[in-house]
Structure 1
Amino acid sequence: MRILVLAPQPFFVPRGTPIAVRALLEVLCSDGHECDAVVFAEGTDPGIAGCRLFRVPAFPGTRNMPPGFSLKKVVADIGLAWIAAGRMRRGSYDLVIAVEEAAFIAMMLRPVFKVPYIYDMDSSIPEQMDDKFGLPGWLRRWLETVEGRAARKSIGALTCCRALQSTVEGYAPGLPVQTIEDVTLIEAPGTPPADCSFDEPVVMYIGNLESYQGVDLLIRGFARVADGGHRARLVIIGGTEAHVAAHAQLAQDLGVGDSVSLLGPRPVERIADYLGAATIVASPRTQGRNTPMKVYSYLDSGSPLIATRLPTHTQVIDNEIAMLVDPTAEDMARGLAELLDAPDLRARLAAAARRRVAAEFSPTAYRRKLTGFLERHVLPQLG
């Protein structure tokens, strides 16, 4: 097939959705499909054989595109729609795969160019914006109407978690939907870097420091563990300068500043190296329903995972492979203390998690789910 992928993100940059888009393109191209991808201006070419990139111009004020909704993204999306229309006018595409809000663009262009599309939903736009801004009810309902229409006009949907699959099925009963979870980014065991070498057991978080990630909850729980006499260090990797400073101040205010190391951003290619230094890995997320991409690497790290007992985690994680805790500082402290005190428990959880990754969250599993969905549900519709 000739496939046009509309990916409204900087590409390639080492963060959530762009990593997922890269995986999508790698599988499609290695299966022999010809792919063109329309992406934002920022990022580097990942060099995927069989894939051509077409970039939206770097409009004034659109540099340093943050994750999620922003006015910068709205401006860049207008450029993406223009380029997508141009590609459809010039090219003879069999299929469009539209990531996130690009589904709205694919829906508008389908009557003109007659190219069917798959909705690749990595997040629900109304839910994401409501979590971030607190939308008035009428605006959330309108966005849900638009999102639902985009789902119903598609010939199928891909989601990254079961919660989003349920959302699509609610919008469009009977639509073929395939959940393809993200995969581990660990390719080989890592060597702990010099800036992450500590004598005490290490509790590690990797990711951005936005409020929905619950890193403040993790710090508060860790402070209670430290007050209880446990010897440990909390290592936090990622975040902007402002977020790093704010969380460092929280640690100081709680009296654990000397036991909390905020290292700032590190290259995603070195995730295995840093995880190799962890005794426990943590996902303290408090909002959202989609499962954080880092969870799959955490599960493959060889260290036990502690995570909040919320749908964002429990649709993938259970008590067999992780320590699940309530999203409170008290229960986070309890879970951390149990893991620090029980090497056998840590080993059992870590081993079970690695087995689950090999079966369900590996690159091989990703390929199996994607190619199976295309063969069973998409190719028959395209004739």
Structure 2
Amino acid sequence: MVLTRDINSKQTSVVKHQIKSFRPNQNPNENDANGLNILFLAPHPFYQDRGTPIDDCLFLRVLSEKNYKVDVIAFPEGRDIELDNVTIHRTLKVPFVEGVRPGFSWKKLVYDILMVFKVMQMVSTRKYDLIQAVEESVFIALLMKVMLGIPYVYDMDSSIAQQMVEQMPWLKPLAGVFNWFEKIAVQNAKSVLPVCHAIADDIADYKPENITILPDISLLEDSTDEVNEDIRKDLGIQNQVLMYVGNLEGYQGIDLLLESFALTLKSTDQVDLVIIGGDEAGIEKYQAKSAQLGIQHKVHFLGQRPAQHLSAYLSQADILVSPRTKGINTPMKVYSYLDSGKAVLATDLLTHTQVLTPEISKLAQPVPEDFSQAMIELINNPSLCSQLGNAGQEMIQEKHSYSAFSKTVNGLYRWLQCEIFPTQIQAGLE
């Protein structure tokens, strides 16, 4: 059976095939954290204020607090972070190969290949007990397991196979091949950490040894309101503010957002749209689309802002939107949106409905007419916005805090410690 842990559940549910009986919420030895040397593979620019790097930083923070010794290998871009017992190493920087964006790209492939060589260099000079592999770096970890017997944890923020086909539909005939590779990576992992239930359900048939569901959390706990940027004053906005925060990649549904907003403005002009995030190319693309729709005077692109200031920006919105149209993993922004106490509008798709319900958010079909109608309903109903905002905030603070996240990670790693060093743990119990 597959042992599955949910960060929001106090119980462990059994799904499919037999594994060892130790469960992540057991605590054989409070001092066992010092025994693991971990190689953490982060196949992206790190650190940057965007989804997966933020996830990685949270995970590393937990490991640091428990005194694990962690070497991180990341791409050359990004800024260093300072955490006790965590050392960041980077792949070789290739001239003119920069600006690596989320999703598959030739630039990402270049650095993935360079990461293989960096990993081989590291494992040849240091002893690691465990590899934590994020996204596609799991295949490097699989190689290390085959060559050197090092076990690995698969940090699965999304399905690589599904993501490849969604991003490049012409690869659909190869979907079976991608799924096979993903299956092998899952089956050989010591544990798989899907970010949501939908991914956990998708991989259950692969019969992994252990599944620990580790959803994202709100980032507002460590955020600050001390920001000298008054959006309404600076932009001359006297209306309600509809706000989106995040990157501007295609799967985020920014086209849907702008088309829906254009329809909304035909019914009311008492609202402005503020978009925070995105790189220069993405901003230029959607500024052009806004102009094409004739709404450029009501759409404001602020560019990127530090994640630690997120609370200050969300507090200036009336309605927060997540128009994502692709994928099944829940957007990280949703947790902070809810924690802000503001009304949340999102597409009625699995990517959202694993967390969002009609009791804590406004859900609408991912078509401009329906999404626009939902916007109008919230704009015209402040009491509904307040009701949804309060309910969402209460849910997040109860179930998606850093302490809950930390508890689950620590439980998982205590279990891993028992699996990797059973004799040592047994001695500690005697």
Look up the equivalent residue of 1:133 and give its one-letter code. Answer: M
Match of 2:334 among 289, 295, 309: 295
1:41-68 Cα offsets, whole Å, 9 max, x none, are 1111110111111111102342221111
Q: Is the 8 A contact 2:251 2:325 kept in 1?
A: yes
Matches within 5 A, 1:130-145: 130-145=165-180
Q: Is the 8 A contact 1:123 1:164 kept in 2?
A: yes
Offset of residue 372 of structure 1: 1.9
Q: For residues 167 and 237 of structure 1, what CA distance do their matches in structure 2 show?
A: 32
Offset of residue 329 of structure 1: 1.1
Match of 2:239 among 190, 200, 204: 200
Distance 1:294 1:231, change over 3 A: same
Residue 213 (structure 2) aligns with: 179
Q: Where in structure 1 are there 5+ consecutive unaligned residues?
A: none
The alignment's TM-score, normalised by the length of structure 1, stands at 0.95
Q: Is the 8 A contact 1:2 1:94 kept in 2?
A: yes
Residue 85 (structure 1) aligns with: 120
* Greater relative CO, 1 or 2 (CA 8 Å, sep 6+): 2
Runs of 4+ in 1 over 6 A off after TM superposition: none
1:180-208 Cα offsets, whole Å, 9 max, x none, are 11111213563572344321100001112
Residue 374 (structure 1) aligns with: 413
Partner SS state of residue 227, structure 1: coil
Q: For residues 224 and 305 of structure 2, what CA distance do their matches in structure 1 show?
A: 17
Look up the equivalent residue of 1:182 and give its one-letter code. Answer: D
Q: For residues 223 and 40 of structure 2, what CA distance do their matches in structure 1 show?
A: 30
Q: Is the 8 A contact 2:223 2:309 kept in 1?
A: no
Q: For residues 189 and 388 of structure 2, what CA distance do their matches in structure 1 show?
A: 40
Moved more, 192-201 or 160-169: 192-201
Match of 2:370 among 325, 331, 339: 331
1:105-125 Cα offsets, whole Å, 9 max, x none, are 111111222211111111211
Number of residue pairs matched?
Answer: 381
Match of 2:70 among 26, 35, 38: 35
Residue 278 (structure 2) aligns with: 239
Offset of residue 242 of structure 1: 3.2
1:58 has 2:97 as partner: no
Distance 1:319 1:192, change over 3 A: farther
The alignment's TM-score, normalised by the length of structure 2, stands at 0.85
1:207-250 Cα offsets, whole Å, 9 max, x none, are 12222211121122222222113511111122233332332233
Q: Is the 8 A contact 2:187 2:208 kept in 1?
A: no
Matches within 5 A, 1:1-383: 1-171=36-206, 173-186=207-220, 187-188=222-223, 190=225, 193-197=229-233, 198-376=237-415, 378-382=416-420, 383=422
Moved more, 108-117 or 266-275: 266-275
1:61-104 Cα offsets, whole Å, 9 max, x none, are 42221111111222211221112122222222211111111110
Look up the equivalent residue of 1:117 and give its one-letter code. Answer: Y
Look up the equivalent residue of 1:328 and give its one-letter code. Answer: V
1:324-365 Cα offsets, whole Å, 9 max, x none, are 111111111111111112222111111111111112222111
Look up the equivalent residue of 2:419 and give its one-letter code. Answer: Q
Q: Is the 8 A contact 2:216 2:335 kept in 1?
A: yes
Q: For residues 137 and 95 of structure 1, what CA distance do their matches in structure 2 show?
A: 34
Look up the equivalent residue of 1:52 and give its one-letter code. Answer: T
Distance 1:81 1:246, change over 3 A: closer
Q: Is the 8 A contact 2:164 2:171 kept in 1?
A: no
Offset of residue 266 of structure 1: 2.3
Offset of residue 265 of structure 1: 2.2
Q: Is the 8 A contact 1:89 1:113 kept in 2?
A: no
CA RMSD, 1 decimal:
1.7
Look up the equivalent residue of 2:107 and give its one-letter code. Answer: K
Q: For residues 81 and 251 of structure 1, what CA distance do their matches in structure 2 show?
A: 42
Partner SS state of residue 145, structure 1: helix
